[in-house]
Amino acid sequence: MTHSRIEKDTLGVVRVPINKYWGAQTERSRKNFKIGPEASMPIEIIHAFGFLKKAAAHVNFEFGFLSKKKKDMISLVCDEIINEKLNDQFPLVIWQTGSGTHTNMNINEVISNRAHVLMGKELGKFQPLIHPNDDVNMSQSSNDTFSTAMHIAAYQKLVKKTIPSIQELKKNFEKKSKFFQNIIKIGRTHLMDATPITLGQEFSGYVSQIDHGLNVIEKTLDHLSELAIGGTAVGTGLNTPKGYDKKITEYICELTGFPFKVAKNKFEAISSHDAIVESHSAIKQIAVSLIKISNDIRFLSSGPRSGIGEIYIPENEPGSSMMPGKVNPTQCEAIIMVCTQIIGNDMSISMAGSSGNYELNVSKPLMAYNFLQSAQLLADACVSFSSFCVMGIQPNYKRIKEFLDKSLMLVTALNTHIGYEKSAEIAKFAYKNNTTLKEEAIRLGYLTIEEFEKFVNPSKMV
């Protein structure tokens, strides 16, 4: 009993698994690019193609190039793709042709053969009634369709997943900042004691970092919403009717519910991917911020007896297989690793973005893969960090007061009363003699008790 069927393309005959809807070009890619099977083409790209191919079928029908029956059948299969009913029909990896042609043809072939079956025909018998190139790919090129699918997938991922997750993290940091607003603690610069600050002020800095990064990501959406579709091979729109680009973009907007628009310059949209580079750079920016924030939190919670220990973080799981009772800042460590991966992805995207030669960028699959991975990782990590760490942070009042009372940098408040030199002398003697600032200020005769207590008031220094 045979387990394969015959499929043909311009290079000849290929045997394809009998229970799969893909055709000859997909099978050739599957056999010729056995590189890192774990790096499959992101399913978000496949779903984006579902919207795109459905929109193309409707527009081609309106222009009179496609029959109603073909339009309906293509649309039916596209709905199955969008609704994840055909996920196992897209086996290709990102390590393929840099234009994404193989994936575009994978989509075309699956739509063609699946429609063939839905019309009551048997796979491998008779020529499909809907041709993968002439019908499904009508008025398109892989160069403009893959570019468009990249933008659809990236835009949707940011709006549906990444941005809401960052907003949730920001909201929880805001709550903590307000709750901690009146808790005075010692500040630190150069990892050394500095003047006082409130814990709420410290956390407000984190809120501001996240908010700024969020705003930068949101600003990149406008450029990311531009679609290359209608540019076909090089941006000229060869083989498309007048108005095709605008019409298909309108359909994509209707199907996705997002405000996509025709690319201002299709030559740039196909030959370069500056919008992807720009948007991912914004993702990288917030990743950099989150590494700083996460490090602060794990250092502030370090201990429990030999570290700083100014805050408590949730004890989620045992931290050691050998040391009983040990608990580690695992959420901080996880998000730091995620953000490090994102920074690496950004370098790959930057290099891939520069890999355009004349009228075509030839690293599109890599850019799509890394972008979507970063956007998903950041979303997941923000949710995890927010839920299992930030929401449970509590101040260690005793430890905070202990450090504040012992700090030598409170002496800074005396600068405007007795001058820098005398203030420095008080601090140096207090450190040398293991005494307090008050004791040394009085011993040196620079201040009375009443004057010291009036001038050195942490609540007035924040």
- The alpha-carbon radius of gyration of the chain (Å, integer) is 30
Tokens describing residue 184: 């005075």
**What span, in angstroms and rounded, lies between the C-alpha atoms of 255 and 248?**
10
Dihedral of the CA atoms 109, 35, 97, 369 (nearest 10)?
90
Angle at 82 between CA 81 and CA 83, to 5 degrees: 90
Instruction: Write the DSSP symbol of residue 40.
Output: B
pTM higher than 0.85: yes
Three-state DSSP class for residue 11: coil
Three-state DSSP class for residue 362: coil
Contact present, 162 and 217 (Cβ < 8 Å): yes
234-240: list long-range contacts, CB under 8 Å, 24+ apart: 234/143, 234/267, 234/270, 234/271, 234/359, 234/360, 235/144, 235/265, 235/266, 235/267, 235/268, 235/269, 235/270, 235/271, 235/359, 236/266, 237/266, 239/139, 240/139
Residues of the chain with CATH 1.10.275.10: 4-138
pLDDT at 127: 79
Q: Among residues 3, 225, 320, 354, which one is catalytic?
A: 320
Q: Among residues 190, 279, 294, 302, which one is catalytic?
A: 190
Residues of the chain with CATH 1.20.200.10: 143-181+199-395
- Work out the burial of residue 424: count CB atoms within 10 Å of its CB; fewer than 13 is exposed, 13-18 middle, 19 or more buried: middle
Q: Over 60: is that where the pLDDT of 28 sits?
A: yes
Angle at 380 between CA 376 and CA 382, to 5 degrees: 115
**What span, in angstroms and rounded, lies between the C-alpha atoms of 436 and 237?**
78
b/e map 257-266, b = 16+ CB within 10 Å: ebebebbeeb
**What span, in angstroms and rounded, lies between the C-alpha atoms of 453 and 447?**
10
pLDDT at 1: 43
Mean pLDDT of 213-221: 98
Q: Over 80: is that where the pLDDT of 233 sits?
A: yes
Mean pLDDT of 84-95: 98
Q: Length of the chain in residues, anyone?
A: 462
* Fold topology of 4-138: Fumarase C; Chain B, domain 1 (1.10.275)
Tokens describing residue 337: 């690793």
* Fold topology of 408-460: Ribonucleotide Reductase Protein R1; domain 1 (1.10.40)
CATH of 143-181+199-395, one of 1.50.40.10, 1.20.200.10, 1.10.3720.10, 3.40.640.10: 1.20.200.10
412-428 confidence digits (pLDDT tens): 999 999 999 999 999 99
Three-state DSSP class for residue 69: helix
**Residues flagged as binding site for substrate:** 99-101, 131-134, 141-143, 189, 321, 326-328
**Cα separation values, 130 from 120, 133, 136, 195, Å:** 13, 9, 7, 74
pLDDT at 2: 67
Residues of the chain with CATH 1.10.40.30: 408-460
Residue 190 catalytic? yes
Residue 386 catalytic? no
Share of the chain above pLDDT 70, in %: 100
Mean pLDDT of 71-87: 98
Contact present, 452 and 410 (Cβ < 8 Å): no
pLDDT at 124: 78
